[in-house]
Amino acid sequence: MVYVDTSVLVAYYCPEASSVAVQEFLIEHPKPAISSLTEVELFSAVARKVRMNELDQLDGNRIISRFLSHLDADFFTFISVDSRHWRLARSYIGLFNTPLRTLDALHLAIASLEEFELVTSDQQLVQAATVLGVKIRTLNR
């Protein structure tokens, strides 16, 4: 199973250069995993796009509504973040061998502990996953 990070999810719901590639990928991988972290980060990314005038508020609301309807329809396998994930993320950061940011470490921990392949378009996350031995797939932007 695959776990998609926020960079992939944003490209699915918002028009971006990689949107077509993400849509094709998700057709081939039904019911991908996301987490409660991904959910909050998607809301944050859409809010940022509205604030930066990349989306108007109506489109932002439509994107959020579509995402919530997909959650309700079980479009995704939903993973709740728990203490195991936080502890592993802390351990990854504490190795001091990658420039991991907090939430990226948490995405890596979720993918690792759930034995999912992490799908991302974030090159820094790809590099950290490679160092840490977490299964990773890149969808280019």
For residue 85, is pLDDT > 70? Answer: yes
Of the pLDDT bands very low, low, confident and very high (cuts 50, 70, 90), residue 140 is: confident
Q: 24-61 burial string, b = 16+ CB within 10 Å, else e?
A: ebbeeeeebbbbebbbebbbebbeebbeeeebeeeebe
Overall domain count for the chain: 1
pLDDT higher than 70, residue 132: yes
- The model's pLDDT over 23-77, given as tens digits with 9 standing for 90+, comes to 999 999 999 999 999 999 999 999 999 999 999 999 999 999 999 999 999 999 9
Share the mean pLDDT of the chain.
96
Distance between CA atoms of 70 and 26, rounded to whole angstroms?
13
Domain that holds residue 29: 2-138
Residues 6+ apart with CB under 8 A from 73: none
CATH of the domain at 16: 3.40.50.1010
**pLDDT, tens digit, 9 for 90 and up, residues 104-115:** 999 999 999 999
Per DSSP, the three-state class of 106 is helix
Structure confidence at residue 141 as a pLDDT band (50, 70, 90) = low
Let me know: does 125 contact 8? Beta carbons within 8 Å.
no
